[in-house]
Amino acid sequence: MKDHVEVFFHSQQPYIHVKEEDLEKYDSGRLGFPNTYFDPEKAHVLYNQYHEEYQLADEAGLDGIMTNEHHAAYWNMKPSANIDAAVISRLTKKVRIAILGNIIPINDPVRMAEELAMLDCYSQGRLISGFVRGGAVETLQAGISPTENRDRFEEAHDLIIKCWTEPGPFRFEGQYYQRRVVNPWVLPIQKPHPPVWFPGGSSPESVIWAAKHQYAYMNLGALIGLTQELKQVYIDTAKEVGFVPGPKHFGYQVRALVADTDEKAQEIGKGFLWAQKHRMRGPIEHVDPPGYQSRVASQMSTRRLGGGGGPPMTYQDLQDVNAVVVGSPKTVIAKLKDTVQKLSPGYLILIGSDGNIPHKDVMRSLELLGSEVVPALHEIELQPYT
């Protein structure tokens, strides 16, 4: 059987009841926006709607569901990816469950290893464990120096992998984590451990780290040209390490929504812009504090969505470069086929629930994805990497 792209659905699970006039009062949509605007009863309704979307994604025939972790974010109500993944494992039967990911520099690594092992047992081996450094906001709200983020990430990663692969009890003495006795009882079904994904938007260091560990690298929606450059960095690093990479080592994330007509999809898709104005707004020390990333990564991040000092990309601009894909099944198939043919990714992660897009429209989009779009994408034969 030929290799084909696996299509994943992702929901940002936004708290859609935030009003523009409220956000305008504050300089930041993250650390500066008060949680007094949060209503738990409204969140209850929203959470259950998002869970209905997960269930339909499985029933409609998508290959996987991706979930993630954010903090102090009105546009993403998931401070725990593992709790969300537990719900997914119960509501679904077939889809792979990708966490992209757990922010391991701010979490206890041993507990993380245990919880992920539980999830792999819950889902009978459907877990994909993505590890992330997290955004600068997550590091700051956890009270951790941004300069420590990468070192904490790498040490936490090493401890988690050791929990999964080395029989306990054992001792661990690191710079940030010291454990006299490590002996997790629950271990994952998948051996030696669940697949590990590592994401990035523009940083070449992220690509190199993923390739050195032979992990799949997921690009979080950078423009195609930059993504192709980063893919080549992965290929070159893999050759240095000594393995032959292929589509199973590379994935791409894009915002996508399908409706019955192009006109209807165009109107609904404007909801993708809902959080764009505020989610990255704030003082530079909230977004890119000194020491959080390298100078090269900071410079390349301006190219991620066509930056570099110009005005923000418009709704039409984003569509022109396939960063936002909306339309009828025929239109979406054509646009996503173009992306798949240019990148040959093993995984395509579709952010299909974001901003203030109505629940009923997300449900219809999932129906059309499952019945028309995903089968068409499965027909594309992926090219080997050279």
Q: Which CATH number covers residue 105?
A: 3.20.20.30
Examine the pLDDT at 95 and tell me if it is beyond 90. Answer: yes
* Inside any domain, residue 269: yes
Examine the pLDDT at 385 and tell me if it is beyond 60. Answer: yes
Q: What percent of the chain has pLDDT over 90?
A: 84
- What gap in Å lies between CA 7 and CA 66, rounded to an integer? 10
The number of distinct structural domains making up the chain is 1
pLDDT band at 291 (very low <50, low <70, confident <90, very high): low
Residue 147's contacts (CB-CB under 8 Å, 6 or more residues apart) are 290, 291, 292
* Inside any domain, residue 386: no
What integer pLDDT is reported at residue 1 of this predicted model? 40
DSSP three-state, residue 5: coil
Tokens, residue 70: 């954010």
* Inside any domain, residue 384: no
Structure confidence by residue, pLDDT tens digits, 296-315: 454 445 555 555 456 788 99
- What gap in Å lies between CA 278 and CA 18, rounded to an integer? 11
What integer pLDDT is reported at residue 28 of this predicted model? 86
* Inside any domain, residue 1: no
Domain encompassing residue 77? 6-378
* Inside any domain, residue 119: yes
pLDDT band at 220 (very low <50, low <70, confident <90, very high): very high
* Inside any domain, residue 385: no
* Inside any domain, residue 383: no
What integer pLDDT is reported at residue 292 of this predicted model? 54
Task: Answer with the residue of higher pLDDT: 272 or 29.
Answer: 272
Structure confidence by residue, pLDDT tens digits, 142-198: 999 999 999 999 999 999 999 999 999 999 999 999 999 999 999 999 999 999 999
pLDDT band at 281 (very low <50, low <70, confident <90, very high): confident
Examine the pLDDT at 289 and tell me if it is beyond 70. Answer: no
* Inside any domain, residue 37: yes
Q: Which letter, b or e, does each residue of 104-118 get, where b requires 16 or more Cβ atoms within 10 Å of its Cβ? A: bbbbebbebbbbbbb
